A and B are shown apart, each in its own frame.
Chain A
Amino acid sequence: MNPRRATATGTAAAAGLIACHSCRLLVRRPGRLNRQTIRCPRCGARMHLRKPNSIARTWALVIAAIIFYVPANMLPVTITTYLGSSQSDTILSGVLYFMRTGSWGIALIIFVASIVVPIAKLIVLSGLLISVQQGWAWRPEDRTRLYRITELVGRWSMLDVFVVAVLVSLVRMGYLTTIEAGAGVVYFAAVVIVTMIAAETFDPRLIWDALEREDESTAC
């Protein structure tokens, strides 16, 4: 299972080729690219040299996620009613509950999935966007790796949404205790979905395009 390093021959864009986003087939780029839509001859997906409007779209989604993040943490995600008295729990108070009852492992899992990952993801995506807009040539391998990790772990933030769904279905009305979902879970789910789409919209090749430009300017 050793990863094998392949031999390199410059970038596809420099060689006048476009790689299909979907099936990765390489196709020779036609002369006037922006006027017509080209479709991949193998899988039929629309082809672009880079993901279209990647920076603007990713910024829009990141900003939307930051806005949703506030009510996601302020509003309750569960409302537990026991014998007429009710208790509201936010994401953070859920973590504190597990810490108080001694379930440190579970507390850590929820803390990482619901609090660390969404914040880290928004910071990383904003940082990557700024670095691409400024055309930095600083440590592109590490920035690409950071992007790869962000894309991979983002889906695990759905954990809290599933916990609420399972709690609600197990502790139902008609018994002494009931658990209801709070409005916070709607915003939290929105944060997770929007940041997942944001990570998909960002094109990591833009990180490397800045390097190509710098090479050209030093060569001239």
Chain B
Amino acid sequence: MMQPLIACHECDLLHRMQPLPANSKARCRRCGALLYVHAPKTVNRTLAFALTGLFLFGIANIYPFLSLESQGAVLETNLITGTIMLSRQSMAGVAILVLLTSMLIPCTLLMALVYVLWPIKRGFRLPFTRHVFRMALNLRPWSMTEIFLLGILVSVVKLSKMATIIPGTALFSFLALVFVLASVSAFLDPRAVWEKIKQ
């Protein structure tokens, strides 16, 4: 195993790894792909945001998400309602896809990070750490909360002509969750975590 070398994952060029200043990134000199980052205190920071994210997830699922007021009647919607309505209209596949990308995958991602990072911080070992962390890294592109939020914005604009839409507690919680998930990926330094798992 060659520790001080890294291969670019997009053009395979070998680079000698150099210590980076805090919060900076190294790019491939041939194709410009991101090689590695130096995110200081990655375990503590990522763990803090992951736990915050799980808490926000709870709130987002308990409280009403959006309410629609039309002709004097108020209709309350939860985060899960879209999935339920789609499955009732024999759109089970799309329903599962929406449920996965907007809720289950982001939630699994955060739980997996807590499962990996908590023992590293406390100095003990849990089984399948390697598998769980690998799964978390692979899940990242499939967590689409920010796109879901944009989808809500578009729908609200579309419906604003025919009804009044009242944002609920869960919507604000979900908005915060989008920023927390962005912070999680900004503070996570996979290379540093792999080093700690190996020890």
Are A13 and B89 also in contact (CB < 8 A) when A141-B31, A170-B165 are? no
Asked if residues B81 and A162 are in contact (CB atoms below 8 Å), the reply is: no
Contact at B155–A167, with CB atoms within 8 Å? yes
Check if A159 sits within 8 Å of B30, measured CB to CB.
no
Chain B residues, Cβ within 8 Å of A106: 153-154, 157-158
- Determine the residue in chain B with the shortest Cβ distance to A192: B97
Beyond A2-B24, A159-B150, A169-B77, is A8–B15 a contact (Cβ under 8 Å)?
yes
Taking the complex as formed, is A205 at the interface, i.e. its CB lies under 8 A from any CB of chain B?
A: yes
Across the interface, do B32 and A145 meet the contact criterion of CB distance under 8 Å?
Answer: yes
Provided the pairs A3-B27, A9-B14, A163-B154 are in contact, do residues A170 and B66 lie with their beta carbons within 8 angstroms? yes
Q: Is A15 an interface residue (CB 8 A)?
A: yes
Docked CA distance A107–B151 (Å): 12
**CB pair A186 B159 closer than 8 Å:** no
Q: Mark A62-98, 1 if CB is under 8 A from B, else 0.
A: 0000000000000000000000000000000000011
Q: Which of B11, B98, B130 has the most CB of A within 10 A?
A: B11
Is B18 a contact partner of A6 (Cβ separation < 8 A)?
yes
Chain A residues with CB under 8 Å of B5's CB are 9, 17, 26
Interface residues of A in 21-40 (CB under 8 A from B): 21-27
Contacts of B155 in A (CB 8 A): 163, 166-167, 170
Whether B12 contacts A167 by the Cβ 8 Å rule is no
- Assuming the contacts A43-B194, A189-B94, asked whether A208 and B26 have C-beta atoms less than 8 A apart, the reply is no
B111 at interface, CB cutoff 8 A? no
Query: Within the assembled complex, what's the spacing in Å between the Cα atoms of A189 and B96?
Result: 11
Interface residues on A, range: 35 or more
Q: Is A201 an interface residue (CB 8 A)?
A: no
CB distance from A63 to the nearest CB of B (A): 21
Interface string of B181-199 (1 = CB under 8 A from A): 0000000001100100110
Contact with A along B144-156 (1 / 0, CB 8 A): 1001101111110
Contact residues in B for A13 (Cβ distance below 8 Å): 12
Contact between A156 and B147 (Cβ–Cβ < 8 Å)? yes
Number of interface residues of B (CB under 8 A): 79
- Are A169 and B85 touching (Cβ within 8 A)? yes
From 118 to 154 in chain B, residues with beta carbon under 8 angstroms from any chain A beta carbon are: 130-131, 133-134, 137-138, 141-142, 144, 147-148, 150-154
The docked-state distance in angstroms from the alpha carbon of A11 to that of B10 is 11
Give Cα A1–Cα B34 distance, bound, in whole angstroms. Answer: 13
Distance between Cα atoms of A209 and B70 in the complex (Å): 61
Which residues of A are found within 8 Å of B12, using beta-carbon distances? 11-13, 19, 205, 208-209
Q: In the assembled complex, which residues on chain B have CB atoms less than 8 Å from the CB atom of A15?
A: 14
The answer to whether the Cβ of A133 comes within 8 Å of any Cβ in the partner chain is: no
81-124 of chain B: CB within 8 A of chain A: 81-86, 89, 91, 93-95, 97-98, 101-102
A-B contact pairs, 16 of them (CB 8 A): A1-B24, A1-B25, A6-B26, A9-B16, A12-B14, A23-B191, A25-B194, A26-B2, A26-B6, A110-B154, A166-B82, A167-B155, A169-B82, A171-B159, A181-B89, A205-B12
Given pairs A170-B66, A170-B75, A171-B163, 17 additional interface contacts (CB within 8 A): A6-B16, A6-B29, A8-B29, A10-B14, A12-B12, A15-B14, A21-B9, A24-B191, A43-B130, A44-B134, A144-B11, A144-B31, A144-B33, A155-B141, A162-B147, A186-B94, A208-B12
